[in-house]
Structure 1
Amino acid sequence: MLNSCLAQSIIKRGGSTFQVSQLCRKCLKRPESNITVRRLLSSKQASPVVKLGDEVYYGTFEKTLKYVKLFSLINSAVVLSAVPFLMTQNWEKLRKYRATSAFAITSAVAVGVVLPVFLHTMSKKYVTHMFYNWDTKHFTLRYYSLFLRKKHLTFAPEDVSMPLKTGFATHLVKERPFFIAKQYFYNENLYGKFLGF
């Protein structure tokens, strides 16, 4: 039996289509429904079904994170593609501006390489969604990779610990640091389950 406010939505990402059912925050008091992500392949192949469970957490900075990382990647592609062009320029004309030109090229490479790596090291810890499977009693969290690919990590509540050092990470999940804010859980009881209480 499905919950009355269960909303179905179709998500198109790349060449794949996902069918996702989501619960609103108020109705997540009882485990009555199950989120299923179904990848709709061609009719010749069987479609695999991945059961993530109910969505219990939503990080509100997901869109901002995607836009910042996308801007950074596009910026890096433009800068790194312009460096070979700048290196083939006639340096005789730029002889009196040699120091300025070297500084500009060095800065461009630093922005093109260092900025995306720095942003990735910070944003790879940010959890955008978390799901709870009531059958297996496991959580699955979602985060983004360097090239904006969705990554999933499935874990049991016993795999969660609090880090001793403070920083951008608030929880260790399977010894990996993640930023998970308590206020983004739909229900405080689910946060207790997440911590293993």
Structure 2
Amino acid sequence: MLRLYLQTTCLQGRYSLQSNLHRQILSKLKCMGIYQNQYYRRFSNDTKEEEQLEQIYYGPLTPQIKAVKIFSLTSSVAGLMAQPIIVKQAATIGSTSLLVVICSMVGFFTFITPLLLHFITKKYVTEMCYDPKTCTYKATTINFFLAEKELEFTCDDVSVPEIPGMFTTFHAKGKPLFVEARHFNNPLYYAKLMGYDKPMDFKLGEIEDSDNNQK
């Protein structure tokens, strides 16, 4: 009887342990399933948002611009690091005019060149995407430190200047951008941005008003 009692108690203890382990495993599996479902949903939402955007333009000079800016920034950093040594070596010569010339040359290639290069390339659009659901455009440019900047706008935010400035095709939300028409996947996107689909205004009213004023 004692043996039977011990066997039954051991079996009950094992069964209770197994049931507790089974419950814990099931609860962990449920939590993992919930996390997996949430992850899959977030991942699917991100992929859907990326699939919604259609790339309509790519700037062909993007690799060259990045390479030139990298070279310019590295040369500027090297110039800053070497400037104390150059000034010290130039001071040993004893000529003030030579020291001024050396410092001005080093300062030009260290500071002026990267700023001038950024002024020229900051308007260049490296990539442009279009969202057909919201009818919005997303233009990507490069800032001074080679980081990508995105600008979202619509056709209503675009203004084409009568006299385009240097490296400027149109303004989007007041920011000048430069694109090349031949590198659009579909010329209709360029025509829509430039307002070629809108009725043309020949400004005949202004000519008539000027003639009346002359009379």
Q: Kindly indicate whether residue 116 of structure 2 is the aligned counterpart of residue 78 of structure 1.
A: no
Cα distance in 2 between the residues matched to 1:90 and 1:172: 47
> What residue number does 1:98 align with?
96
Give CA deviations for 1:161-187 in whole Å, capped at 9, x if unaligned.
112333211111111111111111111
Q: Secondary structure at the match of 1:158?
A: helix
1:132 is matched by which residue type in structure 2?
Y
Give CA deviations for 1:74-99 in whole Å, capped at 9, x if unaligned.
111111111122334483x311x432
Cα distance in 2 between the residues matched to 1:62 and 1:151: 14
> What residue number does 2:162 align with?
164
2:138 is matched by which residue type in structure 1?
T
Give CA deviations for 1:134-171 in whole Å, capped at 9, x if unaligned.
11110000110101001100000111111233321111
Q: Secondary structure at the match of 1:71?
A: helix
Q: Kindly indicate whether residue 146 of structure 2 is the aligned counterpart of residue 148 of structure 1.
A: yes
1:55–1:132 CA contact under 8 A, matched in 2: yes
From the superposition, tell whether residues 132 and 107 of structure 1 become closer, same or farther in structure 2 (CA, over 3 Å): same
Q: Could you tell me the percent identity over the aligned residues? A: 29
Give CA deviations for 1:98-154 in whole Å, capped at 9, x if unaligned.
322320121111110011011101100000110000111100001101010011000
* Pairing partner for 2:119 from 93, 118, 121: 121
> What residue number does 1:183 align with?
182
2:171–2:177 CA contact under 8 A, matched in 1: yes
Cα distance in 2 between the residues matched to 1:108 and 1:68: 18
From the superposition, tell whether residues 89 and 137 of structure 1 become closer, same or farther in structure 2 (CA, over 3 Å): same
TM-align CA RMSD: 2.1
From the superposition, tell whether residues 79 and 53 of structure 1 become closer, same or farther in structure 2 (CA, over 3 Å): same
> What residue number does 2:15 align with?
none
From the superposition, tell whether residues 126 and 188 of structure 1 become closer, same or farther in structure 2 (CA, over 3 Å): same
Q: Secondary structure at the match of 2:145?
A: coil
1:139–1:194 CA contact under 8 A, matched in 2: no
Give CA deviations for 1:15-53 in whole Å, capped at 9, x if unaligned.
xxxxxxxxxxxxxxxxxxxxxxxxxxxx8xx66836471
1:189 deviation in Å? 1.6
The number of equivalent residue pairs is: 151
1:130 is matched by which residue type in structure 2?
M
1:127–1:180 CA contact under 8 A, matched in 2: yes
1:170–1:180 CA contact under 8 A, matched in 2: yes
Q: Which runs of 5+ in 1 are unaligned?
A: 1-42
Q: Secondary structure at the match of 2:133?
A: coil
From the superposition, tell whether residues 85 and 137 of structure 1 become closer, same or farther in structure 2 (CA, over 3 Å): same
Cα distance in 1 between the residues matched to 2:162 and 2:192: 21
Cα distance in 2 between the residues matched to 1:168 and 1:191: 16
Cα distance in 1 between the residues matched to 2:117 and 2:141: 14
1:79–1:108 CA contact under 8 A, matched in 2: yes
Q: Which has the higher helix share?
A: 2
TM-score for both structures, normalised by structure 1: 0.70
Q: Secondary structure at the match of 2:57?
A: strand
Q: Kindly indicate whether residue 151 of structure 2 is the aligned counterpart of residue 133 of structure 1.
A: no
Cα distance in 1 between the residues matched to 2:144 and 2:57: 22
Q: Which has the higher strand share?
A: 1
Q: Structure 1 segments of 4 or more deviating over 6 A?
A: none
Cα distance in 1 between the residues matched to 2:87 and 2:56: 52
Q: Secondary structure at the match of 2:150?
A: strand
